[in-house]
Amino acid sequence: MRVAIIGYGGVGRAFVQLLYDKKDYLNREGLQIQVNYIIGKNGGIFNSKGIDLKDLIEYGASERDITKYPSGGSNYVSFEKMLQNRDVDVVIELTPTNKETGEPAMTHIKKSLECGINVVTANKGPILLAYKELKTIAIKNSAILGIGCTTGGALPSINGGIIDLAGADILSIEGVLNGTSNFIINEMENSGCTYLDALKKAQQLGIAETDPSLDVEGWDTATKLVILTNVLMNEQKSLEDLSVEGITKITAEDVKKCLHEGKKYKLLGKAVKENGETHLTVGLEKLDRTHPLYGVDGKNKAVRYISDVLGDLTIIGGASGVIPAGASILRDLINIYRGYRF
């Protein structure tokens, strides 16, 4: 299986490292994966026989300097050239996310699928904005679109819904989908501190970003929820279709009172089908001990599906960081290799 990596940031490099570290596993499973292209903004690396990953890792190239890589690096390597050559089986799209236009990933994904090239992506933008359109292009061109990394990284939320609930109709989705918010609430529970102190600690630990708004105001959760709903409940929702509340207004007193009631606050994304309509919400909810998501603490993520014939399914996991993110790209790639048509 010949692969092109578009976008060579942290996840791309972790993916390359993983491909190298996992060579025994891949051999044992009969999976032959070679990286023919790594493409950045101003060029990239090309080797029709597969880039030597050991050399590449030792060289330590980043997106900025891949064009100078001695073995195949060039300003002339581009996405368009790759499409002309038609010499890859899977495009791995890892450029930065844009939730307004989806670009440049939208174009990369569309054009690849139109050429019958399979795509694996961690890029939420195009999937949030145009899943149905992209899926239709994929089917029309007998290509596969793997998006298992877009809704919680290592947490197999999308694939769990597609594969583990195949044959069942999903009636509702509930998810603790944002690790940063969950860590902050948990920190307030454990130490009794204020929201701002918990946020500061999360920032010091590198869990929350300097501008944490996407996470703490609920929009990351909302994005993942919209994707899950569209993919698994056959809807065409957008971020305008749901009410979103974050965790920024929660006080130490609220948290204390909730614990006293034997409950825990969770930032919950919910999609519920009622009378043929699917309603989406993101906001804080108090969960009691009998709720399967009650125990999802720290940076953990989880999703719970209620289905018609396969009952309740709760999936808890979602290790964070570039290695699990790279590993969830590899997971989709292997499942495509094994023939799965998502």
Read off the amino acid at residue 255. V
Query: Which of these ranges, 45-53, 94-102, 247-255, 286-294, lies near a second copy under the rule CB under 8 A?
Result: 286-294
**CA distances, 137 to each of 20, 118, 155, 232 (Å):** 32, 11, 26, 18
224 included as an active-site residue: yes
Contacts of 206 by beta carbon, 8 Å cutoff, 6+ apart: none
The correct pick among 36, 47, 159, 223 for binding a second copy (CB under 8 A) is 159
Q: Minimal distance in Å, beta carbon 158 to a second copy?
A: 10
Contacts of 50 by beta carbon, 8 Å cutoff, 6+ apart: 2, 34, 35, 36
Read off the amino acid at residue 334. I
Interface with a second copy (CB under 8 A), residue total 47
Cα(300)–Cα(178) distance, integer angstroms: 8
For 40, the 3-state DSSP assignment is strand
For 81, the 3-state DSSP assignment is helix
Phi, psi of 218 (to 5 degrees): 95, -5
Q: Minimal distance in Å, beta carbon 84 to a second copy?
A: 29
The correct pick among 87, 164, 197, 245 for binding a second copy (CB under 8 A) is 164
Q: Which is nearer to a second copy, 276 or 339 (CB)?
A: 339
Q: Minimal distance in Å, beta carbon 317 to a second copy?
A: 4
Q: Per-residue contact track with a second copy, 136 to 155, x per CB under 8 A?
A: ------------------x-
Query: Which of these ranges, 75-83, 90-98, 206-214, 321-329, lies near a second copy under the rule CB under 8 A?
Result: 321-329
Residue 165 binds to a second copy (criterion: CB under 8 A): yes
Residues 291-320 that bind a second copy (CB under 8 A): 292, 294-295, 297, 300, 309-319
Residue 67 binds to a second copy (criterion: CB under 8 A): no
Residue 18 binds to a second copy (criterion: CB under 8 A): yes
Residue 289 binds to a second copy (criterion: CB under 8 A): yes
Give the strands of the sheet with 34-40, arranged side by side.
73-74, 43-46, 34-40, 2-6, 90-93, 118-121, 145-146
Residue 331 binds to a second copy (criterion: CB under 8 A): yes
Which position among 110, 124, 224, 266 bears the catalytic label?
Answer: 224
Q: Which is nearer to a second copy, 39 or 296 (CB)?
A: 296
Residues 114-133 that bind a second copy (CB under 8 A): none
Based on C-alpha coordinates, what's the Rg of the chain?
Answer: 21
Q: Minimal distance in Å, beta carbon 244 to a second copy?
A: 27
Cα(57)–Cα(175) distance, integer angstroms: 37
The correct pick among 166, 206, 274, 275 for binding a second copy (CB under 8 A) is 166
Cα(62)–Cα(291) distance, integer angstroms: 44
Cα(230)–Cα(86) distance, integer angstroms: 31
Cα(50)–Cα(32) distance, integer angstroms: 11
Q: Minimal distance in Å, beta carbon 290 to a second copy?
A: 7
Please say whether the beta carbons of 230 and 131 come within 8 A. Answer: yes
CA atoms lying within 13 Å on the CB side of residue 315:
21
Catalytic residues: 224
Binding site for a second copy (CB under 8 A): 18, 22, 25, 154, 156, 159-160, 163-169, 289-290, 292, 294-295, 297, 300, 309-319, 323-324, 326-328, 330-331, 333-335, 338-342
